[in-house]
Amino acid sequence: MNKILIIDDEEDLTMLLEDELGARGYGVIVALDGEEGIRLAKNQQPDLIILDIMMPGVNGFDVCRAIRDDVLCPIIFLSAKQSETDKIKGLNLGGDDYIVKPFGLKELIARVEANLRREKRSLYINAENKRSKLYFGELSIDLRGRAVKIGDRDIALTKCEYDIVELLALHPGQVFSRDHIYEKLWGYDSEGDSATVVEHVKKIRAKFAAIIPSVQYISTVWGIGYKWNKV
């Protein structure tokens, strides 16, 4: 049974989500403030977190910063803010998805299920792939440990960033469109935007370039998408 942590100060909403998700067989944990959310996230290690941004005191962005190094599960941000800046900020902090309030329950359930399916696909790839590590020049990818290094330096990727790196690196030279990457990682029935992929790729490139600026591991194929280079 997948365990879902809801962190939101709107008690009526958390009760509704707890009932809806519980009826679908999920184990649900609720935190009504950011501090409690941080504690439960680290202690309970949920399979997915639904995280409200606009909470008093410790807000959702602060919660994400505090837990992301220890908690690798998908994080779906909830917010009444519709600005692109807030969406990008949430994704850059390590969020995997973003839903604007008010939202439909069907949409939220679909996002939850899509993110959990993506998680299972990633675990399946790692378990089934006979190679435990991939090497591209100085860069190495540990498929079992879900870790990336350049030389002896660890690259601190978010879960979503790692999933994109793994997908591309397992198929070097193959061109993936933004939509294809989004569908592979978030699911065909997700209602998000493939622009999410662009933001994650920017972050990945910046992290790689900070260590080895002379090598471009991910190339843009203009008008199509991205490919992993055979370094």
Query: Would you kindly state where each structural domain of the chain is located, as residue ranges?
Result: 3-120, 130-228
Is the model's pLDDT at 150 over the cut of 90?
A: yes
Domains 3-120 and 130-228 share a fold: no
Q: Give the whole-angstrom CA distance, residue 109 versus residue 56.
A: 26
Confidence of residue 13 (pLDDT cuts 50, 70, 90): very high
Q: Which CATH number fits domain 3-120: 3.40.50.150, 3.90.228.20, 3.40.50.2300, 2.30.110.10?
A: 3.40.50.2300
Do the Cβ atoms of 168 and 208 come closer than 8 Å? no
The rounded percent of the chain whose pLDDT value lies above 70 is 90
Is the model's pLDDT at 130 over the cut of 90?
A: no
Angle at 155 between CA 218 and CA 39, to 5 degrees: 125
The predicted structure's pLDDT at residue 71: 81
Which candidate, 98, 172, 164, places its Cα nearest to that of 136? 172
Is the model's pLDDT at 161 over the cut of 80?
A: yes
Classify burial at 193, counting beta carbons within 10 Å of its beta carbon; exposed 0-12, middle 13-18, buried 19 or more: middle
Average pLDDT value over all residues in the chain: 86
pTM of the model: 0.59
* pLDDT, mean of residues 91-119: 85
DSSP track, 86-138 = HHHHHHHTT-SEEEESS--HHHHHHHHHHHHHHHHHHHHHHHH-S-SEEEETT
Per CATH, the number for 130-228 is: 1.10.10.10
With a CB cutoff of 8 Å and minimum separation 6, the contacts of 26 are: 1, 2, 3, 4, 112
131 or 71: which carries more pLDDT confidence?
A: 71
